[in-house]
Amino acid sequence: MKSSNNKKHLLTGNEAAAEAAILAGCRHYYGYPITPQNELINHMAIRMPQVGGTFLQAESEIAAIYMAYGGAAAGARVMTSSSGPGISLMQEGISYLAGSELPCVIVNVQRGGPGLGDISPSQADYFQAVKGGGHGDYHNIVLAPASAQEIADLVYDAFDLADRYRNPVMLLGDAQLGQMMEPVEFRKTPRTHQTVKRWALTGAEGRARNIVKSFYPVKGELETFNIRLQRKYRAIEHEEVRYEEVNTQGAEIILVAYGTCARICKEAIRRASGTGLQIGLLRPITLWPFPKEPLRRLAKKARAFCVVEMSAGQMVEDVRLAVLDRCPVHFYGRMGGGVPSSREVLKKVLNILAPEGTLELEIPEIPTELGKGLYFSTIP
Amino acid sequence: MQALYSAPETLIRTPSHYCPGCGHGIAHRLLAEIIDEWGIRGKTIGLAPVGCSVLAYNYLDIDMCEAAHGRPPAIATGIKRVHPDNIVFTYQGDGDLAAIGMAEIVHAASRAENITVIFINNAIYGMTNGQLAPTTLLNQRTTTTPEGRDPLAHGYPIRICELLATLEGTSFLARTSLSSPKNVSQTKEALKKGFKTQIEKKGFSLIEVLSPCPVYWRMSPVESLKFIEEEMTQTFPLGVFKDWEKAISAPGGQATKV
Ligand SMILES: Cc1ncc(C[n+]2csc(CCOP(=O)(O)OP(=O)(O)O)c2C)c(N)n1
Ligand code: SF4
Ligand SMILES: [Mg+2]
């Protein structure tokens, strides 16, 4: 594929991520094969040599994350990608990236777990992505796209955010988003905020040497460093929260979902329109920093929240922490590769409104014009 | 008056954290001398490991990067791919390179990654109080083999040069020691050859340096040097195992005496 970036391409989300990375100036990619992210690594293998970049299939995800660490330390824009088990192996390296304040973009195309699990869509790596995952007090910036188009857009932003804050950025997708083909238009001018990396390792010619490290053995130094890291995180929380609101004005029930589940919730809202049910959606686009304030604002008006996830309930904890006891927070989840349907979501909403089962609803069938890549309820 | 000998510029003058009689300080000094002599301070990027030499960057006035335990070859790969004309070396202990980092070193070597590896073999885990290393000699006592290394229980020592010599990707492999002035100067020559290999883009080079750890060998510094010469070299013979210039290739085996 040529990087002619002002027309629509039909791409899997994985390919969109790879191509957007190249357009954002990434010339160093390291990865290890794992389903459901193979389209990404395969695309990089073809494209990187064409643009004079480095593609290297590492001997493991451990090696891949440290190769990316090396590239980042050397001042380049670097990407790696994986899924569940491979991301688990990368966690030590991600902690080192955060501790050494190195910019790096990591794509996690989530699959079902725990263990080897399966290769179906899942959102059960939320804790691992947003709560640190590796050792120590740190955060990844976590972006949650909901379409191939948004993957392309957010990959640009991921590189900018990583550079601006010298922090790892994780793009958290899933098997559905990664493998489904959708039309994608690449933003013409990537807003690449190419910072001058004076700290990078280039050889100390004509300047004082640079050291990239996360080791602070002198008493007190590490705490001072951690305080500075936390200040950076507070600044990110202040500046970088992103979310989308759908139909929240006057909604009785606010659905909260990201990625694939957010699209299913949008579908549920469409199916409920005209039935009198007032349902809205808050879709976090940044999972960390988490959109706490918008949730608190909505908690003043809504009757209840319902968090929908492909997990046993992970993001729901952050929603509860955000709204505390201002508003009841319900949960609907499917696990181990199960994907909720919009019908299941609507049934859950009815159950919240009338737990005794007195509320019935003719759920209309899906209007055909919605078949445009917005609807999916089952996975083949 | 003429100064006949002075400390290298690249060696930062600071109190050493190494124990008396430790080999790490000597190896650092050799590196600093070569960097000075060849005027490559501005081009060289070093990787410090996790191990006693974790603070190697406190002593070498060049761009340096910390690495997680065992991962210097992967990180060096990432750096070298961005700056192919810089000189990138890793500095690793035996636990770092031959235990936790075995996959990374073997694959960097098999890729003929154009980096130089300085492998400090002291047959022990120095930093974590003297446990068994992959290179611990048979019968050698360590904190985790208090009765001595028993091959049936703890396996046999791993010979890295011999192992890597079987890979087509390696261009220069040598084992030297720090046990005598002569051996120290041979170590310096081998290090130079490693850097030359890289500068001429000939691929992967590794210099294994037998190095004393008097503290966890429970010996005096002088006894440690004797131990290297009399015991260690029995298991780890000194020599050149691969040399692209002299077409020396000894897969799986015999070193050529230098
Ligand atoms: C992932 C990980 N595991 C374990 C350690 C603890 N650790 C620090 S140094 C070391 C062994 C170092 O031995 P070696 O590489 O031989 O270096 P030496 O101290 O002998 O020079 C270990 C196990 C660590 N820092 N990280
Ligand atoms: S413990 Fe051994 S290797 Fe570590 S500094 Fe002391 S002598 Fe050197
Ligand atoms: Mg050791």
Q: What is the CATH number of the domain that holds A364?
A: 3.40.50.920
- What are the pLDDT digits (tens) for A176-209? 999 999 999 998 765 566 678 999 999 999 999 9
Looking at the domain assignment, is residue B7 inside a domain? no
Tens of pLDDT, residue by residue over A294-312, are 999 999 999 999 999 999 9
User: Is residue A289 domain-shared with residue A174, that is, in the same domain?
Assistant: no
At residue A376, does pLDDT exceed 50?
A: no
Answer yes or no: do A71 and A132 share one domain: yes
Least confident of A125-134, A241-250, A284-293, A351-360: A351-360
* List of E strands, chain A: 8-12, 28-31, 54-57, 78-82, 104-110, 141-143, 168-174, 181-185, 211-212, 243-246, 253-256, 279-284, 286-288, 304-309, 329-333
Mean pLDDT to the nearest integer, A66-77: 98
Assess whether A287 and A336 both reside in one domain: yes
pLDDT over 50 at B239, yes or no = yes
Q: Which residues form the domain of B192?
A: 24-249
Closest approach of B59 to chain A, Cα-based (Å): 12
- Is residue A135 pLDDT above 90, yes or no? yes
Within this chain, do residues A58 and A119 fall inside the same structural domain, yes or no?
A: yes
pLDDT of B222 > 90? The answer is yes
Q: Name the residue with tokens 């759908």.
A: A246
Q: Region A215-240: what's the mean pLDDT?
A: 98
**CA of A141, closest CA in chain B: separation in Å?**
22
In a domain, A19, yes or no: yes
Question: Does residue A203 lie within any of the structural domains?
Answer: no
Instruction: Give me the percent of chain A exceeding a pLDDT of 70.
Output: 92
Ligand 2 near B19 CB (within 6 A): yes
Average pLDDT along chain B: 95
Closest-CA distance, B255 to chain A, in angstroms, reads: 29
Q: Residue A203: its chain B contacts at CB < 8 A?
A: 42-45, 62-63, 83, 86-87
- Specify the number of domains making up chain A: 2
Instruction: Give domain status of residue B1, yes or no.
Output: no
List chain A residues with CB under 8 Å of B169: none
Q: What is the CATH number of the domain that holds A228?
A: 3.40.50.970
Candidates A69, A79, A215: best to mutate against B (most CBs of B within 10 A) is A69
Region A272-296: mean pLDDT is 96
Residue B198 lies in a domain: yes
Does one domain contain both A260 and A329? yes
Q: So what's the pLDDT on residue A368?
A: 45
* pLDDT 10s digits, B104-141: 999 999 999 999 999 999 999 999 999 999 999 999 99
- Please tell me if the CB atom of residue B213 comes closer than 6 angstroms to any atom of ligand 2: yes
pLDDT attached to residue A366 = 55
pLDDT at residue B40 in the model: 98
Q: Which residue of B has its CA nearest to A214?
A: B66
Q: How far apart are CA B169 and CA B123, in angstroms?
A: 26
Non-local CB neighbours of A181 within 8 Å, separated by 6+ positions:
A10, A11, A12, A148
For position A375, what pLDDT does the model report?
Answer: 38
User: Number of helices and strands (H, E) in chain B?
Assistant: 10, 8
Quick one: pLDDT at residue A189?
Answer: 64
Q: In this complex, do A201 and B74 lie within 8 Å of one another by their Cβ atoms?
A: no
pLDDT of residue B255: 53
In a domain, A3, yes or no: no
Q: Are residues A37 and A185 in the same domain?
A: yes
Share of chain B above pLDDT 70, in %: 96
A378 is a domain residue: no
Per-residue pLDDT tens for B45-68? 999 999 999 999 999 999 999 999
**CATH number, position B91:** 3.40.50.970
* Domain that residue A49 falls in: 8-196+212-239
β-pair partners for A168: A104
pLDDT at A6: 63
Each residue's pLDDT tens digit, B149-202: 999 999 999 999 999 999 999 999 999 999 999 999 999 999 999 999 999 999
The candidate with the shortest Cα–Cα distance to B125, out of B52, B23, B208, is: B52
pLDDT band, residue B5 (cuts 50/70/90): confident
Assess whether A227 and A107 both reside in one domain: yes
Query: Could you tell me if residue A47 is inside a domain?
Result: yes
The count of domains in chain B is: 1
Q: What is the pLDDT of residue B258?
A: 42
Is A182 in the same domain as A286?
no
**CB nearest A201 (choices: B65, B68, B104):** B65
CA-based radius of gyration for chain A: 21
Distances (CA, A) of B153 to A317, B138, B148, B149: 48, 11, 10, 8
CA B75–ligand 2 middle distance (angstroms): 24
Give A46 Cα–ligand 1 centroid separation in angstroms. 38
Q: Which residue of A has its CA nearest to B84?
A: A202
Min Cα–Cα distance to chain B from A56, Å: 10
Same domain, residue pair A128 and A91: yes
Query: Is this prediction's pTM over 0.90?
Result: yes
Q: Is residue B123 part of a domain?
A: yes
User: Does the pLDDT value for residue B14 go beyond 60?
Assistant: yes
Residue A280 maps to a domain? yes
Distance B64 CA to ligand 3 centre (A): 21
pLDDT score, position A359: 75
Instruction: Report residues whose beta carbon is within 6 angstroms of any ligand 1 atom.
Output: B 50-53, 69, 93-96, 120, 122, 124-128, 133
Ligand 2 neighbour B224 (Cβ under 6 A): no
